[in-house]
């Protein structure tokens, strides 16, 4: 259990249809009152901008070198394949060692990866396999970095502010997504992609400085897991017995694998459908980022997060993706990118905060590694698959199919959450009282 606030030892198992994550309700930016989190947040802004610059540059460079959406999909797959293969081991490491010390190592390694790709590109020797290797290396580091960063949040802010801090982390990432693509487009046009990669490598100095300046006495470190056998199995068994954990993880797995292949879809819409360049691709990413930022700020304002919101947001996200696939012109396509961003972020934050708050502190690293493994680990499957669909049948078919699969998953998981919470669908079609909702079975029995 936590060695900090006793609130961390509160019961972890919450209703699957009522409050799954709670916050202090002290405002959208309440976590920033905590000094250590301000340092973490500030450093993350800089490195996230660099990361988005590298992502946009990387995808466009691969498309320019190969002319293939499959190659873009392979690049994305290489970055997330390590999470699929080794994701749970990252959670064991996060639970076993001091998280701040781990982050010093992982953030430094990511910076070195960016500098390597910058050197190859600026020297004029870059080939597509260099991008693949760098993406795979970054993915290996992320296996450890992701669950460590996710679980380190509670050590910085305490249990009362976890939901707010998770939402602000997402707002941070999406704010950088607004700036990064625009800067990357300008840098590529002015001096070439190598300088964008260089900026990414140097940007990791900011989070390293933030970690160094933290007051360790203000952290709330969780009890470290001892070295031993069976820790992976222990984490899986822990999740499998808790529907409030397993079903959100299943849903984000479907959404991450089939609904979040935007590097492929947005680059193909810009290049093949609307016949634009890197500037249009950057615009599409920035518009989605605006929607995602709005979604993150709305999530930060909410005092509670309900799992039924998770299923509903996932369903709407899927429907709007299908609508975007069928959009006849660029104006409508652009308009739909905003709600796609809002709802996609809502799904991610709702699931993330719900899972963190429903997990015992000493298990949080392993559970969050499973969460991230499922959410991003499906990309090595979805990336090449939807890249192939885009090349063979067009990006509209590819995007529509991804949305359809997500819609079916949202309905299925929503029904399973309702069943786990002993809820039943109530449909009232009487005039003036028409509504559809899930209510407790006991309530229906009493009404009958």
Query: pLDDT value at position 15?
Result: 33
Which tens digit of pLDDT belongs to each residue from 66-123?
877 778 778 877 887 888 788 778 878 888 888 899 999 999 999 999 999 999 999 9
| Short-list 167, 39, 31, 170, CA closest to 100 | 39
Report the 10 Å Cβ neighbour count for 352: 27
What pTM, to 2 d.p., does this model score?
A: 0.67
Query: pLDDT value at position 444?
Result: 46
Reduced to 3 states (helix: H, G, I; strand: E, B; else coil), residue 248 is: helix
Reduced to 3 states (helix: H, G, I; strand: E, B; else coil), residue 191 is: coil
- Give residue 123's Cα distance to chain centre: 33
Give the separation between CA 249 and CA 14, rounded to whole angstroms. 16
Helix (H) or strand (E) holding 423: strand 423-428
| Short-list 291, 263, 282, CA closest to 383 | 263
Average pLDDT score over residue span 237-246:
80
The phi and psi torsions of 306 (rounded to 5 degrees) equal -105, 140
Average pLDDT score over residue span 156-184:
80
Report the 10 Å Cβ neighbour count for 262: 21
In which band, very low, low, confident or very high, does the pLDDT at 282 lie, cut at 50, 70 and 90?
Answer: confident
- Interior angle at CA 336, CA 389 and CA 394, nearest 5: 15
Give the separation between CA 265 and CA 12, rounded to whole angstroms. 39
Give the separation between CA 196 and CA 191, rounded to whole angstroms. 9
Average pLDDT score over residue span 309-335:
92
Query: pLDDT value at position 71?
Result: 83
Give the separation between CA 396 and CA 264, rounded to whole angstroms. 11
Q: Which residue has the higher pLDDT, 178 or 252?
A: 252
Report yes or no: 410 and 97 within 8 Å, Cβ to Cβ. Answer: no
Q: Which residues contact 75 (CB under 8 A, 6 or more apart)?
A: 58, 59, 62, 131, 132, 135, 263, 383
DSSP bridge partners of 304:
22
Give the separation between CA 316 and CA 30, rounded to whole angstroms. 29
19-22 and 304-306 beta bridge pairing: antiparallel
Query: pLDDT value at position 14?
Result: 34
In which band, very low, low, confident or very high, does the pLDDT at 9 lie, cut at 50, 70 and 90?
Answer: very low
Q: Which of 136-150, 182-196, 317-331, 410-424 has the highest mean predicted lDDT (pLDDT)? A: 317-331
The DSSP letter of residue 222 is: B
Give the separation between CA 80 and CA 136, rounded to whole angstroms. 7
pLDDT value at 221 more than 90 = no
Reduced to 3 states (helix: H, G, I; strand: E, B; else coil), residue 254 is: helix
Per-position DSSP letters for 28-74, written without gaps between them = TTGGGGSHHHHHHHHHHHHHHHHHHHHHHHHHHHHHHHH--HHHHHH
Q: Which of 173-177, 214-218, 222-226 has the highest mean predicted lDDT (pLDDT)? A: 214-218
Average pLDDT score over residue span 353-379:
77
Report yes or no: 386 and 76 within 8 Å, Cβ to Cβ. Answer: no
- What is the Rg, in whole angstroms, of the alpha carbon atoms belonging to the chain? 22
The owner of tokens 């990866």 is 113
Which tens digit of pLDDT belongs to each residue from 14-70?
333 333 333 444 577 888 888 999 999 999 999 999 998 898 888 888 888 887 777
Report yes or no: 67 and 59 within 8 Å, Cβ to Cβ. Answer: no
**Average predicted confidence (pLDDT) for the chain:** 80
pLDDT value at 131 more than 70 = yes
pLDDT value at 401 more than 90 = yes
Average pLDDT score over residue span 241-253:
84
The DSSP letter of residue 257 is: I
Describe the crossing of helices 128-157 and 364-377 by its angle, rounded to 10 degrees.
150
Report yes or no: 383 and 402 within 8 Å, Cβ to Cβ. Answer: no
In which band, very low, low, confident or very high, does the pLDDT at 408 lie, cut at 50, 70 and 90?
Answer: very high
């Amino acid at each position: 259990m936590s060695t900090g606030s006793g609130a961390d030892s509160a019961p972890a198992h919450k209703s699957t249809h009522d409050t799954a994550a709670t916050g202090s309700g002290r405002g959208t930016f309440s976590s920033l009152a905590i000094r250590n989190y301000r340092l973490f947040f500030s450093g993350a802004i800089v490195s996230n901008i660099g990361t988005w610059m590298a992502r946009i540059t990387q995808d466009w460079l691969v498309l320019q070198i190969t002319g293939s959406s499959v190659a873009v999909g392979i690049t994305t797959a290489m970055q997330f394949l390590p999470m699929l293969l080794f994701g749970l081991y990252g959670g064991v490491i996060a639970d076993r060692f001091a998280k701040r010390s781990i982050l010093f190592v992982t953030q430094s390694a990511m910076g070195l990866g960016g500098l390597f790709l910058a050197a190859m590109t600026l020297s004029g020797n870059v080939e597509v396999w260099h991008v693949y290797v760098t993406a795979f290396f970054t993915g290996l580091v992320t296996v450890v970095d992701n669950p460590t960063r996710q679980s380190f949040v509670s050590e910085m802010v305490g249990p009362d502010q976890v939901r707010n801090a998770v939402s602000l982390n997402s707002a941070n990432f999406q704010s950088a997504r607004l700036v990064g693509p625009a800067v990357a487009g300008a840098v590529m046009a002015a001096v070439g992609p190598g300088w964008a990669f260089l900026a990414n490598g140097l940007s990791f100095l900011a989070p390293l400085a933030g970690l160094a300046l933290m007051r360790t006495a203000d952290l709330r470190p969780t009890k470290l897991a001892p070295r031993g056998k069976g820790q992976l199995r222990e984490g899986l068994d822990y999740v499998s017995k808790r529907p409030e954990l397993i079903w959100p993880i299943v849903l984000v797995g479907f959404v991450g694998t089939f609904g979040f292949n935007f590097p492929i879809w947005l680059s193909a819409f810009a290049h093949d459908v609307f016949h634009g360049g890197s500037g249009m691709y950057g615009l599409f990413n920035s518009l989605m980022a605006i929607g995602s930022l709005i979604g993150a700020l709305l999530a930060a304002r909410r005092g509670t997060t309900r799992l039924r919101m998770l299923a509903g947001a996932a369903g709407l996200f899927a429907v709007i993706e299908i609508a975007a696939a069928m959009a006849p012109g660029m104006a409508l396509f652009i308009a739909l990118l905003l709600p796609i961003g809002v709802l996609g972020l809502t799904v991610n934050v709702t699931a993330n905060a719900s899972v963190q708050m429903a997990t015992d502190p000493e298990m949080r690293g392993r559970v969050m590694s499973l969460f991230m493994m499922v959410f991003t680990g499906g990309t090595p499957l979805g990336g090449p698959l939807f890249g192939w669909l885009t090349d063979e049948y067009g990006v509209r078919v590819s995007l529509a199919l991804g949305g359809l699969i997500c819609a079916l998953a949202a309905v299925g998981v929503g029904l399973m959450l309702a069943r786990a919470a002993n809820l039943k669908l109530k449909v009232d079609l009487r005039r003036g009282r028409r509504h559809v909702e899930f209510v407790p079975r006991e309530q229906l029995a009493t009404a009958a």
